[in-house]
Amino acid sequence: MMKAVRLLMAGAMAGYIWNELAPGRAAGIVLSVCSLGAAALLPGIVKGIPRLLGLLFTTAGVVMYARHGTAWQEAINGFGRMLNVITLLTIVPIVSLPIELGGYARRIQTVIRSNIRHTGPLYIVTSLLSFVLSAFMSLATLPMVYRVIRPSVDLYPVEHKERFMSRAITHGYSMPFLWTPVAPIVGVVVEMTGVSWGRMLPLVIPFSLLGLVLDCGMGLAIAGRHRRRMAAPVLAVPASGFRSADIQRASGLKNDVWLRGIGAGDGPAVSDGELRTAHSRPKQPWSSDAEDPDAAASIVAAAEAPENPSSPDLSSPQRGRNPFQILLAMAVFGLSLPLLQAVTGLGFLLLVTLFTIPFALMWAVFISEGRTFVVNIRELLPMQLLRMKDQFLVLICAGFMISAIESTGAGLTVNAGISLLGGLVGEHLFLALIPMIPLALSMAGVHPVVGTALTAGALNPALLHVPVELTAMAMLVGASCSYMLGPYNATAGLMSSLSGETPQRISNWNAPFTAVFLLTAMVFLYVSSM
């Protein structure tokens, strides 16, 4: 059955591209039949919440079509409503392949271990790296940044290492979803609201950077408070007192770099050679390890780090390419899209989908990995189809329900209710509250893409009497917060598998920053709409 489902999924996406480039009856039939076939078979494979949501959305759509008396031929066409998003979600991860082939992660890790002295700057680097990679890699950012940074965190006196990693990665990862063209959520909002992506950028990019600054500021404040707390006991003992000398004699260390590094909370606690000495020496009851269990755990973990297969070999001559090439590629990709859209007249989602593979291939050729890229992509695409089965079911069924809402007139009822609510609370306040809609749906288990699509399908910016750019930004803010706070989406699930913590705990760790970011956005939206 899996092979049949994979063929139907591929056929539906191919039918969508065919129908967009050369609309016709044959393309429409391929699109509808393959979509319906996949939607019928997937509930037998997909389990849990995705299957429940798929059945719920399909049932709601069938009820609306039945009450309206819609012909079944027209109703079947509704299953292709979200294929633009599904195709983008399937193709976009390919753009991250040159990043892996170029070995950028190894160079970044080398720079971190050589230059970062404190946990505050380490948090900033982690969040910034997530921000930059997320603009290209979407969900693939999480495991890549975790693998690059996590071994280095063991060298620093971080109180709760998994919380540190989860916050820094998830916060930085979520900010580009306000603007990056490879984020399906951006394409959904652009397509469904009719907003110009280029006109939206001057509004959302600065706010995305503001969110990054807020995150880094909170990270620095927490790191500074932790350093002061750790430094207090050490400051009470003179540096030249008996304690330092006793520890040096007991441990066999030639100097007190190790003691000062751990006690004061400064950067990497020890050098590679000292790591082995500290790990192998007998623990003394008066040593700094006994006073600071977290620091002791850092030393042990760091000493064992070279044996960890997930940690890159930094002694290898293949140290990776310059990470600034990623920024250059991001600029080229972003600038090319509006130019290509002006020349071709294609829709935003379709253009990003079609441009992704050629762009990734050109990047791979630029770093002399073109042949490897071709070999890898042949294996990646079939695997990606299988990974997409859960999202395919939910999105294809959500598209069916959205089509039913639009074609049966139910959307007019929804818009009337929204207009009434806007009149009760005021248009400006209602605009500020829009981010809460996709966030609430995410907390209920709805995928952020689906929640935002439902929100965009129900809202008519003209009824709010505010610029469509602000309405689009409000939806994107809600989606970004959903990725940070929703415990049931892929972001929380992947971070949970990486860190060994529950998705609910990941969500709780992200709550303080999400609240600050959401409140800041709501105030900005309220003031800007006046």
Give residue 194's region: left, alpha or beta (phi > 0; psi -120 to 50). left
Q: Return the half-sphere exposure (C-beta side, CA atoms, 13 A cut-off) of residue 149.
A: 29
CA distance 390 to 382: 15
Residue 486 and residue 440: Cα distance in Å, rounded? 9
DSSP 96-148: GHHHHHTTHHHHHHHHHHHH--SHHHHHHHHHHHHHHHHHHHGGGHHHHHHHH
Q: What is the pLDDT at residue 414?
A: 67
Q: Is 118 left (phi over 0), alpha (psi -120 to 50) or beta?
A: beta
Q: For 154-180, what is the mean pLDDT?
A: 91
Q: Which two tokens stand for residue 382?
A: 């079939």
pLDDT at 167: 95
Distances (CA, A) of 165 to 23, 141, 227, 242: 47, 13, 17, 37
Contact residues for 328 (Cβ-Cβ < 8 A; gap 6+) = none
Which residue from 511, 513, 456 is spatially nearest to 487, judged by alpha carbons? 511
Q: Does pLDDT of 235 surpass 50? A: no
Task: Reply yes or no on whether the pLDDT at 204 is more than 80.
Answer: yes
Least confident residue range of 37-51, 196-210, 349-363, 444-458: 444-458
Between 447 and 54, where is the model more confident?
Answer: 54
- Number of alpha carbons in the 13 Å side-chain half-sphere of residue 457: 22
Nearest by Cα to 269 from 319, 230, 324:
230
pLDDT at 282: 35
3-state SS assignment for residue 511: helix
pLDDT band at 216 (very low <50, low <70, confident <90, very high): very high
Contact of 5 with 38, CB cutoff 8 Å: yes
Contacts 24+ apart (CB under 8 A), 363-368: 363/98, 363/329, 364/97, 364/98, 364/101, 367/98, 367/101, 367/102, 367/321, 367/325
- Cβ of 444: how many Cβ atoms within 10 Å? 12
pLDDT band, very low/low/confident/very high, at 152 (cuts 50, 70, 90): confident
Summarize the confidence of residues 70-99 as an average pLDDT. 80
Residue 133: name the closest of 88, 84, 183, 90 by CA: 183
Non-local (6+) Cβ contacts of 387 within 8 A are none
Which residues, 6 or more positions from 384, have their beta carbon under 8 angstroms from its beta carbon? 90, 93, 94
DSSP 282: P
pLDDT band at 232 (very low <50, low <70, confident <90, very high): low
**CA distance linking residue 307 with residue 312, whole number of Å:** 10
Distance in angstroms (rounded) separating the CA atoms of residues 422 and 412: 15
pLDDT at 319: 59
Mean pLDDT (whole number) for 460-483: 86
Q: Which residue type occupies 55? A: L
C-beta neighbour count of 239 within 10 angstroms: 12
Least confident of 279-293, 322-336, 458-472: 279-293
Least Cα distance to 132 among 186, 167, 175, 187 occurs for 175
H or E element that contains 16: helix 2-21
- The average pLDDT across 61-76 equals 83
- Is the pLDDT score of 278 beyond 70? no
What Å distances lie between residue 392 and 288, 388, 452, CA to CA?
53, 6, 16
Query: Tokens for 385?
Result: 């189809």
How many residues can be counted in the chain? 530
Q: Taking residues 282-299, what's their average pLDDT?
A: 34
Alpha-carbon Rg for the chain in angstroms: 26
* Cα–Cα distance measured from residue 478 to residue 465, given in angstroms and rounded to the nearest whole number: 20
**Backbone torsion region of residue 192, taken as left when φ is above 0, otherwise alpha when ψ lies between -120 and 50, otherwise beta:** alpha
Cβ neighbours of 101 (radius 10 Å): 19
Place of tokens 């089509």: 403
Per-residue pLDDT of 478-515, as tens digits, reads 999 999 998 777 788 778 877 888 888 899 999 999 99
Q: What is the pLDDT of residues 408-429, one digit of tens each?
A: 877 667 667 776 777 777 778 8
| pLDDT at residue 411, as a whole number | 66
Provide DSSP, 428-492. Answer: HHHHHHTTHHHHHHHHTT--HHHHHHHHHHH--HHHHTS-HHHHHHHHHHHHHHHHHH-TTSHHH
pLDDT at position 54 over 60: yes
Average pLDDT over residues 31-54: 87
C-beta atoms surrounding 2 within 10 Å: 11
pLDDT of residue 210: 96
Cα–Cα–Cα angle for 502, 503, 506, rounded to 5 degrees: 95
- Which pair of structure tokens corresponds to residue 271? 């050098």
Q: Output the six-digit token pair for 367.
A: 């770093």
pLDDT digit string, tens, across residues 302-317 = 333 333 333 334 334 3
pLDDT higher than threshold 50 for residue 68: yes
